[in-house]
Structure 1
């Protein structure tokens, strides 16, 4: 059954969920669901505890997300972890108020709300963050920071924080933490008729992409016809054949109900399909120094918890997708060589992107070295 924004099950269960949210608030219901017991008594108790925390807090941090707690089994974005960690590190000074997933927008519109301080913090993909903070689109240049470990090496490095984060700050944001899922893939819809093994198989393919200049160039170099489609419209585009394929991580494909629409998933690992928690920079500056330190400490702890959750999420995704009949293809060494040759970061077509997003080629090479240098953090690779 597809993941939904309310607990799985009958319409009656969904109505009960909505009633509880109306009576006790979304945060209390979400926390109770996270604890595994959704009864009115449990929700009421949680609501009382949350009201006490919120009343005692000096600062309220509203957090908007795109995904439901049920989807976290495949996509470990750790929203409850981040809430608890920030509140605990701040010793109650900061209260994190959750919002229903998608209620304050998804993708780039959610980024805009954080920039305007309508919402204090949110989480979106690097690709959807990039229109408002273009420097992070460096991640979407293929085959240089494309594995989980290289990506973690990069974003935890001094070079990344020195070169990229000031550019993010200049657009009114502070990065809280990066979230790892797994690299992007190349998935085909049912009826497309073939498994994509090499870039040659993509020639003429109508391929859905998010709002990323870099991703558009990847698939153009591979011979496809990349078309930006809003995430909320993507399922319809795949189902109706408006698009022949798309490129999220397998966990994203499962979490958003694509498993029964797809024929195959090829683990091309062109770029990391990562997410980023970010907040409004001016709001953060207005907090006390102790609150700022707590927010960053809670965010780093959440980062560690996310890294530990990646293997289980991957195993669950593979099991569920395979049961649904989706074919997985892991490129051979020769096939992977063709992908790198077709669109990899070494190609001259990427020089303008490197200059635009990194400032100059020397800075990009500095970042490449950081991606290749093992950090103190370990994460499982595909």
Structure 2
């Protein structure tokens, strides 16, 4: 599998227009996750011209294991707008689950939120195209894809009709092939999937993959993953290393063997209300939108640190992480990748009548 170096990703962000000085400044203050005195925060909110309420199911204090970028979002937006926008983070699902957050942002009960693609793709079906395996899973390809003109034209443009806009594509890492501790088995070849009971997110593409692999997929809500694993409801799941460790209800204690196959990107997004964007004066609007370039770079840095931390902590728990050889990865990609004829109806269903040609355009954008 391709390995993403720090140098290559910084080049990618430079091409995207990211100012590394801005992301460095944000990271300098974010890791401590400092909380300002209440009076100072109240004064900032009182004197701000606008308030940006941002919802997330993740806990802000868990920044070491969960690269949600809550503090980066707050600090960079406030700094870039000279405090004309005050950012309030509502974490731990206090403003609803991911599906509830979508409607909250659409109807201005909230101005922004962090959502998984699994929760956002029922609204914007085209997003699910990233869940066709082995074409945009690694971080470098994924970032090239989501900042491309083709992605903006064929996928992101569909969000506007719902009065939302995607401004940040989180990097969380590739999905794995992971067995639970009551069914420890190493998955590294196409045959290893056969008959395996799999917990999967709500994704047409991933459902198609597991049927193609002759596994037995079950759509189980993420908050129930640990409990259903303990109850023996499934044998394997496919979250990223970060997702497996930071998952709800101590999911990390249910993990057996992780095979880091790089199936698809475990994608999240930050959405923003278009009504909120349009309410901003022109200068502040430009500052707000420009903030997400620096936030993207800071979030990637947060992901890299979280991944390293989670790997170290899994080692302490005795969890084995296996990296397939190039030959093993090629065998998986050949069997299940986008060239397999089984993906033709999925491409058309997600991208429209010209889905095959559009997918080819997206594929070229991803590989560069």
Structure-1 separation of matches of 2:237 and 2:364: 30
1:195-344 maps to which residues of 2 (within 5 A)?
Answer: 195-256=186-247, 257-344=250-337
State the Cα distance separating 1:34 from its structure 2 match. Answer: 6.3
- SS of corresponding position for 2:37: helix
Structure-2 separation of matches of 1:253 and 1:72: 15
- SS of corresponding position for 1:191: helix
Equivalences, count? 336
Give yes or no for the alignment of 1:136 onto 2:127: yes
Q: Is the 8 A contact 1:221 1:342 kept in 2?
A: no
State the Cα distance separating 1:103 from its structure 2 match. Answer: 1.4
Give yes or no for the alignment of 1:351 onto 2:333: no
Q: Is the 8 A contact 2:60 2:91 kept in 1?
A: no
Of 96, 107, 110, which residue of structure 1 is paired with 2:87? 96
Q: Is the 8 A contact 2:56 2:98 kept in 1?
A: no
Give yes or no for the alignment of 1:124 onto 2:119: no
State the Cα distance separating 1:52 from its structure 2 match. Answer: 0.8
Q: 1:334 to 1:129 in 2, by over 3 A?
A: same
Q: 1:342 to 1:113 in 2, by over 3 A?
A: farther
Structure-1 separation of matches of 2:119 and 2:253: 25
Of 174, 178, 181, which residue of structure 2 is paired with 1:183? 174
State the Cα distance separating 1:179 from its structure 2 match. Answer: 1.1
State the Cα distance separating 1:260 from its structure 2 match. Answer: 1.6
Structure-2 separation of matches of 1:274 and 1:237: 23
Structure-1 separation of matches of 2:263 and 2:328: 13
State the Cα distance separating 1:36 from its structure 2 match. Answer: 5.9
Structure-2 separation of matches of 1:369 and 1:232: 36
Aligned to 1:14: none
Runs of 4+ in 1 over 3 A off after TM superposition: 32-37
Q: Is the 8 A contact 1:127 1:140 kept in 2?
A: no
Residues 161-187 of structure 1: per-residue CA shift (max 9 Å, x gap):
122211122232101111112101111
Structure-2 separation of matches of 1:136 and 1:320: 32
Q: 1:231 to 1:128 in 2, by over 3 A?
A: same
1:44-55 maps to which residues of 2 (within 5 A)?
Answer: 46-55=37-46
Structure-2 separation of matches of 1:154 and 1:36: 31
State the Cα distance separating 1:323 from its structure 2 match. Answer: 1.1
Give yes or no for the alignment of 1:372 onto 2:367: yes
With the length of structure 2 as denominator, give the TM-score of the two structures. 0.86
Q: Is the 8 A contact 1:135 1:168 kept in 2?
A: no
With the length of structure 1 as denominator, give the TM-score of the two structures. 0.83
Over the aligned positions, Cα root-mean-square deviation in angstroms equals: 1.9
Structure-2 separation of matches of 1:106 and 1:266: 29
Aligned to 2:11: none
Aligned to 1:73: 64
